Amino acid sequence: MKKIPLRYVTLFWVAGVFLVVNTLARAGLIVFDRNVDNVMPLHLLQIFGVGAIYDLAALCYVLPFFALLALVWPNNAWGRKAHATVVGVCFALATFGMLFVVISEFIFWNEFSSRFNFIAVDYLIYMREVSGNIRESYPVGAILGVLGLITAAFFFFFRKPLWRAASGDGGRLRWRTAISGAVFALPVCSFYLIDDALHEKIATPSVRELAANGYYEFMRAFRSNDLDYSAFYKVLPAEDVRREVQAHLPGSRWTDSWIIERKINTVGAAKPLNVVLVSIESLGADYVESYGGLKGLTPNLDRFAAQGMMFTNLYATGLRTVRGLEALTLSIPPTPGHAVPVRKNNKGFQTIGGVFRDQGYESIYVYGGYSYFDNMQDFFGGNGYTVIDRTAIDKKDISHETIWGVADEDLFRLAVREIDQRVLAGKKVFAHVMTTSNHRPFTYPVERIDIPSGKNRDGAVKYTDWAIGQFIKDAATRPWFKNTVFILVADHTSHGRGRANLSPENYHIPMIIYAPGIVPARRIDTLASQLDVAPTILALLNIGYTSHFYGHDILSEGRQHQRAFMSNYLTVGMLRDGMVVELSPKQRVNVVRADNGSPIALDDAKATTLVRQAIANYQSTSEMLREHRAATSTKRVSTHE
C-alpha cells in the first residue's frame, strides 16, 4: 500500500483544528446557556456524540480546498516551497475564520438561543443593519484583535511541523489526483449520507441546538428556508382540511381555490375614526408590570392598560418582527420558512390596510429604520400602504439613532406629522407605526429615563414606554385625537428558549386599545392570537367587509374559538385547551402540556382533535400561498411576454 504523501498531512492539521475549535465552542455554549439540564450525562453524550458527527459532516466541505492546493503544486523544490507558503497563509486565515465563526455563533446564540438558521441566511442579505448592530453592541475591534493574537500565537507555536508537512514530498501527479479526488468526493458523501435524523431525534430543544454544527445548519437553512408544506409536514385530505377550517370561521366558504371567504356584516354605519396601530419591538408581557412582568419599566403602558381595553392572553405568531408584521397585516397563520413579507410573491393580498383603503382611508406604514429592511417597502407598498421611513426625517431632527433606526421619540414625531398632514387634507388615516429602540444595542437619548443608555434591555423597554407616553401626550393636543383609536401591541417577545419548541411564555405579548371616550376600560382574558388583531380592530369600528382573514374578532366570536398560532423557525403549532400542538418537518407531530412541556399521547382524544385543527389551518394557508405564488408568477411572465 502506498504511503500518503507528506504534504497531505496538512489536511489532518486543518481537520484537527476544525474539530477541536468546534468541540470547544460547543462546550463554551453549554456554559454560556447556563441550563443545568444540559450537563446531564445523557444530554452531554448527545451534545458531543451527535455534535461530532455533524462536525465531521461540515469538515467535508472544508478539506477539498486544501486537497486542491496539494494537487496543483508540482512536486519539485520550487513547488514544495510554494505549496508550503500558500498553505501556511491559508491555514492561518482558516484558523482565524474558524475562531471568527465561533464568536459569531455566540452572538447569534445570545439573540436567538439557536445555532445558525434561516434567520442567519436572511441577515446576510441585510448585512448593513446586522454588521452595524454588531459594531454598536460589541467591541468588534478588540474582539478581532484578540482573535488575531490567538491565531498568530497558535501559528507561531505550530509553524515548524506545519512547514515540514507542507513542504514535504507531494507524490506523483497520478497519486495526488487519486487522493485529492477522494477528498473532493467527501462533500457529496456528506450531502447524501448525513441528514437531520440524528439531530431531530433529540427531544430537548436546547440539547438539540447544542449538538448541531453552525456551518452545517447554515447550509441546511440556505437550502430549505422555504418549505413545501405538503411535502414535509403532516397533511389531511383536502375535504377534511376545508371542513375543519370552516368549523372555526363561522359563515365562511371556500372560493374556487384555497381562499377562505366570509361576509362580515354589521348593524349600522361604520365609525369614522382614525386608527393608529403601534407595533412595539421585542416587548414580551414579562416586561410589562400590569401583565405581571418586571416592575417600574412601563408606567405609561400600565396607565393606558388601566384606562383602556387590556388584552391579557394574546400570543405572537413568531419570534421576529417580520412574523409580527405578517400576522398583524395579513391575519394568517405563520407557515414554515420565510414570512410572507420577505417572499418574492408578496403582493396582492388582503391586508388590514387594504380594507381601510376600501373604506376611504389612507393607509400608511411608518418605520424608524430604512424600509428596504425585511422587504418592508416592497410588501407594504405593494399591498395598499404609503410607506414612510427614516429618510423622511431631516438629520437635524434626529435626536439619536442606531443601525436599526431613529429613536422612538423621533419616529413618533414623524408619525404625528404625517397624520397631521392627512387629517388637514380631509382624510381618515390608518397608520401602522413600527418602533425600533427596544433592540440591541439598547441605546437612546440621554436624560430621558433613569437607566443609562446602552446598559441593558430594561433601559430600552423603559425608554420605549417613555416615548409612547410622549407620543400619546403629543397626539392629545391634536384635533384628531378625540376621533382616534390607538392600538399598542408587541411584534414579538425577546425570548427564544423554553421547555419545548413552542413554549407559550416565549410568545405572550401585551395589547392595549386606548381611546378615551370611545373605548371603555375593560380587561379581556380571552386566549387569542396576533392574527386576531386586524379583525378585532375592524369590528371595533363597525366596518363590514368580505374577509379572507383567518383571525377572529376577539370580543365576539373569538370567545367561542380560543386558540393561538405560534412558530419557531421550521416548527409551527397551535395553543389551545392547555395543550400545544407542534408540527415539524418529516411529518412529525408532537403534543405537549402548555404549562410544563410534558408530552401528551397522540391517541388522546382531545389531542387528536387539536392536531387535526392545527394541520388544517397550516395546510390550507400553505395551499393558499402556493396558489398565490403560482398566480402572481404567471401574471409576471405574461406581463414580460
Supply the pTM of this predicted model.
0.80
Residue 596 lies in a domain: yes
Choose the final residue of a domain: 191, 224, 257. Answer: 224
Domain harbouring 254, CATH code: 3.40.720.10
Q: Is 281 helix (H, G, I), strand (E, B) or coil?
A: coil
In a domain, 143, yes or no: yes
Give residue 345's domain range. Answer: 238-637
The answer to whether position 435 is within a domain reads yes
| Statement to judge: residues 299 and 215 lie in one domain | no
- Residue 427 and residue 388 share a domain: yes
Instruction: Please name the residues in contact with 110: beta carbons below 8 A apart, sequence gap of 6 or more.
Output: 32
- Distance, CA of 305 to CA of 296 (rounded, Å): 14
Residue 409 and residue 290 in one domain: yes
> How much is the average pLDDT of 428-449?
95
Helix extents (H) in 527-604: 533-540
| C-alpha–C-alpha distance, residues 244 and 613, integer Å | 6
Whether residue 218 is found in the same domain as residue 245: no
**Cα–Cα distance, 627 to 464 (Å, whole number):** 40
DSSP-derived 3-state class of residue 176: helix
Q: How far is Cα of residue 51 from the mean position of the Cα atoms in its chain?
A: 24
- Residues facing residue 253 across a β-bridge: 261
User: Percent helix, strand and coil across the chain, each rounded to 5?
Assistant: 55, 15, 35
Tell me the residue type at 263. K
Residues 457 and 593 in one domain: yes
Contact call for residues 546 and 538 (beta carbons, < 8 A): no
- Say yes or no: 398 and 337 in one domain: yes
Residue 324 lies in a domain: yes
Per residue in 58-114, pLDDT tens?
Answer: 999 999 999 999 999 999 999 999 999 999 999 999 999 999 999 999 988 887 778
Over residues 44-71, mean pLDDT: 95
Quick one: 168 and 301 in the same domain?
no
The β-bridge partners of 523 are: 310
Nearest in space to 251 (alpha carbons), one of 266, 268, 265: 265
Residue 638's pLDDT band, with cuts at 50, 70 and 90, is: very low
Number of structural domains the chain divides into: 2
Lowest mean pLDDT among 101-115, 393-407, 560-574, 618-632: 101-115
Q: Could you give the CA distance from residue 188 to residue 313 in angstroms, rounded to a whole number?
A: 49
Same domain (yes/no): 509, 555: yes
Q: For residues 490 and 602, state if they share a domain.
A: yes
Interval 273-328: pLDDT, tens = 999 999 999 999 999 999 999 999 999 999 999 999 999 999 999 999 999 999 99
**End-of-domain residue from the set 224, 253, 278:** 224
Q: Does the residue 232 lie in any domain?
A: no
- Ramachandran angles phi, psi of 140, nearest 5°: -60, -45
DSSP designation for 403: S
Mean residue pLDDT of the chain comes to: 92
Q: Which of 224, 247, 275 is the last residue of a domain?
A: 224
Segment (H or E) for 524:
strand 522-524
Same domain, 196 and 330: no
- Do 435 and 338 have their domain in common? yes
Question: Alpha-carbon dihedral of residues 462, 463, 469, 474, nearest 10 degrees?
Answer: 180
Tell me if 231 is assigned to some domain.
Answer: no
DSSP 8-state class, residue 269:
P
Q: Is the peptide bond before 441 cis (omega within 30 degrees of 0)?
A: yes
For residues 470 and 343, state if they share a domain. Answer: yes
Distance CA 273, CA 487 (A): 13
Rounded to whole angstroms, the Cα distance separating 500 from 506 reads 10
